[in-house]
Amino acid sequence: MKSFRPIYTLLFGVAAVFFFGLAYPHHLHYQEQYQLFLFDSAYVWEIVRLPGGVADLLGRFCTQFFLFAWVGALIIGVLLSGVQLLTSRLMGKGWLYGLSFVPSFLLWLFLLDENALLGGVWAVLLTLLASWDFDRLPSGWLRRVLLVVAIPILYWMVGPVCVVFFLLQAPRPKGSAVWYYGVFVLLAVLLIILSHHLPVPTERLWFGIHYYRYPTVTPVLLWAAALSVFVLTLIARACHKWANASSGFVVTLCSFLLVSIAMGCLVWKNSNFKAEKVMQYDFMARHQQWNRILATIKAEKPNNQIGVTVQNLALAMRGVLVDHLFDYNQNGIAGLLPDVESDATSPLPTAEAFYQLGMIAVAQRTVFEAQEAILDFQKSGRCYKRLAQTNLILGNYEVARKYLKALQKTLFYRDWANETLPLLGDEEAIALHHEYRSLRHSTYDEDFFFSDHVTPEMLESLFFSNTDNRVAYEYLRAYYLLTGDRESYAKLLLRSVEQ
Amino acid sequence: MKSFSHIYTLFLAVAMLLLSSCVNHPDVPSSSKEAGCLPAIFPDYCDVTVPCNIAPLNFMLPVGEFSKCVARLTTSDGQQQTYGKGVKVQIPEQDWHTMLNASKGKSIKVEVWGQKEGEWLSFNPFEIYVAEQPIDEYLSYRYIEPSYAGWSFMEIVQRNLTSFKETQIFNNEITMNDLKIGQCINCHSYQNYKTDNMLFHVRLSNGCTVIVNDGKISKVNLKRDYTISSGVYPSWHPTAKLIAFSTNKTRQGFHTLNPNKIEVYDLESDLILYDVETDSVSVICNDPDLLEVYPTWSPDGTYLYYCKSVPLPEELRDKDIRSTYQKVQYNLYRRSFDVASHDFSEEELVYDAASHDKSATLPRISPDGRYLLFAEGQYGCFHIRHNDGNIVCLPLDDSDAVLRAQEGEETPSDVDLSNFNSEGMPDSYPSWSSNGHWIMCSSRRDDGNFCRVYFSYFNNGKVEKAFMLPQKDPELHISLLKSYNRPEFMIEPVRISVEEFSKVF
């Protein structure tokens, strides 16, 4: 009944694809926007020169496809299925078969966290792949020599997760305890030597450099997934005769269903659908899907900061902000244009509002600060694109060119960069471009210092720089209504009528 | 065995291919059309004067416009060699240094051909003049995105100027223990171009000043009850274990329209003297109404030069600096110093910038004490953010010139720095090489945003055309999205590793 196993793996993979494609797509978009994979040798070298670099590189390479959630879901499905298949092979046959899904489910749980990086999953997969390859080697001196050679190579490729490889190799060949413990000692010595030569914190050499976006956090679930493979193989070996005694279709199916239902419930329970909703609003704002936002808020009123900001932006873009302001949840002026915080996520929808309002320099700063706040020091395709746009609008063509040149080295932003590059310095072409012409026209005509806190004066100055700026008009009126400043509201109406 | 021989052959073939791709000596085009102009190479190395030990001046023709570039370099003894791969000309270090040695005090002739739409163009040849004086072997700078308030990864690195080797001195990751507040590292500074006595600041997470005293690392807190902040802009006394610092309460403003983009200004600033041996801090000057900043010692250590703001008009004094910042201007002053008693004399005006509606900052005295180099703009103290920021040089040994400057006459510079400064882009942070023959600045001249390092040859008040810090890949300065911040010459490398520095925390 072995032939059914690929079907179980397929079922698991399909479930993962549907989960990430249908229930968690914006987590994938979120991941994509906090990295910028460049087809550039210097970029690749910066990654692979550190331990775990190959896994990290593969993770980043795959993450760029998360721009398209279903492709991202498919990649995750394949990776998780790969881990399951390898675990299954390492465990052997029997009714414990269902347990071979545990590491993959743990990795699934790990990936529910928006700060979990795909490089961690690749590290586990490559480790298991190496172990599986080694299992096929005959015992003897060649195997032992290769084991020693594999220590630095695997460590450099996948990082400290490779310890699982050595754990898995432990019992075989029998009687080679000296070799076995020797490799551990060698690994420890290697790490100590490395810590003296690599400019990274020592603890990250021990627990992983790029498995998780927060450099100081040890990803427990990832380690649990990796170590569970070793534990499961131990269980499988301990229960070898007993487990293999019953490996019929029903037993295998039952063990698969039992583990899948239990772990599946755990996955569902631990999924952060609130965060998914917030990310959805951010995604819709990023792609300027104003009608979709209006449809979404109609179905369910947003009750979080980002959702309210995006809701108000969409209403303003459609010219109905003031009409429908109080139909939805508000958070005072903080729901209109919140103060910019020093994190990578919350400023981006606000930056989108600044950009659409024509506060180009403010948008540029907000996007720049958000990108600088990415905790693992990566760059962002979304931010680079917006920095190129804002510099173009402000006439800083050489600066825009730098960002566009970088985007030319990407897979999915290249076409846009190629289309935009000819606009640099071409005033006539910019004047014909609907977005840039209008935003240039909408921006300030007088200079002042802007602050992190939006004031009515900033909006007034913007609106009276160009009274055709209807988005600014909507925001200004909404600002007065939300602050209860009826006098200013009346004056504004009077003044705009006069003009 | 047979399969091994296949692998061996393949390995050899790949190795040969790699080796052959390292150096390319293309043929000069047999026929070409005369362009009648100098080539628009990047960086612009046409007719520059370079040190006799500088790294290869690799350059390129514009991508997109040209498909190929060939350059023929001819030394004064008649040796010739061609280089070029794609649009880039990258000269092997060994070849280059041989050419430099052969051309000391003379020049290297460079002929450039570029292929455009299938046709070869030959450009007017240019010369690279090779000065007999070398440049200091090392340069250190901080890599940082030209940021607003936030920052991500930053590192202080050192670059060997005779090659392309660059190594890290410190980074803001290795000892950062609080991600929420992050860590900033800045203001690396050396005593007399040497690295046995040096310092840099670490701000926020694990904040302190790291001081190396005769090779021994320690971290100190320079904040005292009577100072407005810990030490900020430093200057090591050239001989004694003393460091002059400014203490600053600095703020930033962000423009909506002004191309200067960001304004950096001080609400308060004073000067302090830190004694490394006794860990004591004394106040040099702390006028409550005026701003003192950017201390720098004369090469013999007998004078401390610094900038001090001039009093604002009465009607502006109580106003918010956000509305008066354009009226804040700094003059250059100095005080004589007694190294035995640590006593400073009364201050004397060195350069009255405000009298001709300018503001002078970042003074640097030439190693022979004859010239004063500083940055000047219309207002403020942070000219690297001012498009009118330029470098000015005054001869200090010309007492008439100093007198004229003191009297505020229109003598912004007796030394013509037009070859050194850019037009309408910020140039700031000037400094001298240890032999006084090379001046350096940080400049945003290429795009208005990303700082690059420029050098010029300086000989008896004559300044040659500035050239950009050479890189192995000439395209790096086009693609690099980081600024070179606070470039400092050193005559030797920092020998302490990042890990050794991190142990002090």
Structure token pair of residue B300 = 């013999």
Q: What is the pLDDT of residues A179-223, one digit of tens each?
A: 667 767 777 787 777 767 787 888 888 888 899 998 888 999 999
Q: Judge: B149–A369 Cβ closer than 8 Å, yes or no.
A: yes
Crossing angle for the helix pair A5-18 and A249-270, nearest 10 degrees?
10
Shortest Cα–Cα distance, A242 to chain B (Å):
45
Q: What is the pLDDT of residues B160-210, one digit of tens each?
A: 999 999 999 999 988 887 877 889 999 999 999 999 999 999 999 889 999
Q: How far apart are CA B156 and CA B170, in angstroms?
A: 5
| Cβ neighbours of B481 in A, within 8 Å | 379, 402-403, 406
Q: A369: Cβ–Cβ under 8 A, 6 or more apart, which residues?
A: A340, A342, A347, B147, B148, B149, B150
CA distances from A182 to A428, A431, B215, B486 (A): 71, 70, 38, 48
* Burial of A196: CB neighbours in 10 Å, binned 0-12, 13-18, 19+: exposed
Structure confidence at residue A245 (pLDDT): 62
Share of chain B above pLDDT 70, in %: 92
Q: What are phi and psi of B103, to 5 degrees?
A: -115, 10
Q: Judge: B499–A450 Cβ closer than 8 Å, yes or no.
A: no
- Which CATH number does B34-130 carry? 2.60.40
Residue among A374, A447, A450 minimizing CB distance to B152: A374
Return the residue of B nearest to A366 by Cα. B148
Shortest Cα–Cα distance, A373 to chain B (Å):
6
Question: Given the DSSP bridges, would you call strands B452-459 and A449-450 parallel, antiparallel or unpaired?
Answer: unpaired
Chain A interface residues (partner B, CB cutoff 8 A): 195-197, 199-201, 214-216, 342, 359, 361-362, 365, 368-369, 371-375, 377, 379, 396, 398-399, 401-403, 405-406, 443-450
Q: How far apart are CA B106 and CA B121, in angstroms?
A: 27
Share of chain A above pLDDT 90, in %: 72
Q: Judge: A447–B255 Cβ closer than 8 Å, yes or no.
A: yes
Q: How far apart are CA B92 and CA B145, in angstroms?
A: 30
Shortest Cα–Cα distance, A206 to chain B (Å):
14
Q: What are phi and psi of B450, to 5 degrees?
A: -100, 120
Residue among B173, B256, B448 minimizing CB distance to A201: B173
Q: Is the confidence at residue A116, as pLDDT, over 70?
A: yes
Structure confidence at residue B178 (pLDDT): 81
Residue among B257, B447, B448 minimizing CB distance to A361: B257
Return the residue of A nearest to B261 by Cα. A361
Structure token pair of residue B195 = 């690295």
Q: Judge: B257–A396 Cβ closer than 8 Å, yes or no.
A: no
Residue among A368, A405, A450 minimizing CB distance to B478: A405
Shortest Cα–Cα distance, B499 to chain A (Å):
6
Structure confidence at residue A191 (pLDDT): 72
Q: Judge: B481–A403 Cβ closer than 8 Å, yes or no.
A: yes
Give residue B409's pLDDT band: very low, low, confident or very high (50, 70, 90).
low
| Cβ neighbours of B151 in A, within 8 Å | 372
Contact B159, B141 (CB under 8 A): yes
- Classify the phi-psi angles of B351: left when phi > 0, otherwise alpha if psi is within -120 to 50, otherwise beta: beta
Return the residue of A nearest to B481 by Cα. A402
Return the residue of B nearest to A192 by Cα. B499
Structure confidence at residue B163 (pLDDT): 97
Q: Judge: B498–A373 Cβ closer than 8 Å, yes or no.
A: no
Q: Judge: A369–B448 Cβ closer than 8 Å, yes or no.
A: no
Q: What are phi and psi of B465, to 5 degrees?
A: -60, 135
Q: How far apart are CA A119 and CA A213, in angstroms?
A: 10
CA distances from B367 to A273, A461, B297, B372 (A): 66, 52, 11, 10
Query: Residue B267 in 3-state DSSP?
Result: strand
Q: What is the pLDDT of residues A78-115, one digit of tens each?
A: 999 999 999 998 886 667 888 999 999 999 999 999 99
Share of chain B above pLDDT 90, in %: 84
Q: Is the confidence at residue B401, as pLDDT, over 60?
A: no
Shortest Cα–Cα distance, A249 to chain B (Å):
45
Shortest Cα–Cα distance, B131 to chain A (Å):
33
Share of chain A above pLDDT 70, in %: 95
Structure confidence at residue A342 (pLDDT): 87
Q: Judge: A399–B498 Cβ closer than 8 Å, yes or no.
A: no
Other CB atoms within a 10 A radius of the CB of residue A359 amount to 29
Q: What is the pLDDT of residues B451-482, one digit of tens each?
A: 999 999 999 999 999 999 999 999 999 999 99
Structure token pair of residue B49 = 């004067």
Is the entire prediction scored with pTM above 0.90?
yes
Structure confidence at residue B1 (pLDDT): 39
User: Among A208-222, A419-433, B348-362, which stretch is predicted with the lowest mean pLDDT?
Assistant: A208-222
Residue among A365, A375, A398 minimizing CB distance to B447: A398
Return the residue of A nearest to B171 by Cα. A199
Where do the domains of chain B lie? 34-130, 138-502
Structure confidence at residue A261 (pLDDT): 95
The string of DSSP codes covering A374-404 is -TT----HHHHHHHHHHHHHTT-HHHHHHHH
Query: Which among A29, A90, A23 has a CA at the least distance from the CA of A412?
Result: A29
| Cβ neighbours of A398 in B, within 8 Å | 446-449
Return the residue of A nearest to B260 by Cα. A447
Contact B42, B474 (CB under 8 A): yes
Q: Judge: A396–B447 Cβ closer than 8 Å, yes or no.
A: yes
Q: Judge: A361–B261 Cβ closer than 8 Å, yes or no.
A: yes
Structure confidence at residue B465 (pLDDT): 98
Give residue A249's pLDDT band: very low, low, confident or very high (50, 70, 90).
confident
Contact B364, B431 (CB under 8 A): yes
Q: Is the confidence at residue B399, as pLDDT, over 70?
A: no
Judge whether B18 is closer than 8 Å to chain A, CB to CB: no
Where do the domains of chain A lie? 2-271, 275-498
Shortest Cα–Cα distance, B293 to chain A (Å):
24
The average pLDDT across B364-389 equals 96
Triad B129, B134, B140: Cα angle to 5°: 115
Mutation target among A402, A409, A466 for the B interface, most CBs of B within 10 A:
A402
Q: How far apart are CA A61 and CA A118, in angstroms?
A: 9
Structure confidence at residue B10 (pLDDT): 53
Put simply, the chain B residues between 341 and 400 with a CB less than 8 A from any chain A CB are none
Q: Is the confidence at residue B360, as pLDDT, over 70?
A: yes
Q: What is the pLDDT of residues B76-134, one digit of tens each?
A: 999 999 999 999 999 999 999 999 999 999 999 999 999 999 999 999 999 999 999 99
Judge whether B340 is closer than 8 Å to chain A, CB to CB: no
Q: Judge: A372–B255 Cβ closer than 8 Å, yes or no.
A: no
| Cβ neighbours of A447 in B, within 8 Å | 255-258
Q: How far apart are CA A257 and CA A12, in angstroms?
A: 10
Q: Judge: A402–B478 Cβ closer than 8 Å, yes or no.
A: yes
Put simply, the chain B residues between 234 and 273 with a CB less than 8 A from any chain A CB are 253-259, 261, 263
Contact B430, B486 (CB under 8 A): no
Mean pLDDT of chain A: 91
Order of all β-strands in the sheet with B359-365: B359-365, B371-377, B390-395
Structure confidence at residue A207 (pLDDT): 85
Give residue B7's pLDDT band: very low, low, confident or very high (50, 70, 90).
very low
Judge whether B174 is closer than 8 Å to chain A, CB to CB: yes
Put simply, the chain B residues between 128 and 147 with a CB less than 8 A from any chain A CB are 145, 147
What CATH class is the domain B138-502? mainly beta
Residue among A342, A362, A401 minimizing CB distance to B256: A362
Q: A262: Cβ–Cβ under 8 A, 6 or more apart, which residues?
A: none
Contact B311, B354 (CB under 8 A): no
Q: Judge: B499–A196 Cβ closer than 8 Å, yes or no.
A: yes
Q: Judge: B254–A195 Cβ closer than 8 Å, yes or no.
A: no
Give residue B400's pLDDT band: very low, low, confident or very high (50, 70, 90).
low
* Burial of B225: CB neighbours in 10 Å, binned 0-12, 13-18, 19+: exposed
Return the residue of A nearest to B477 by Cα. A402
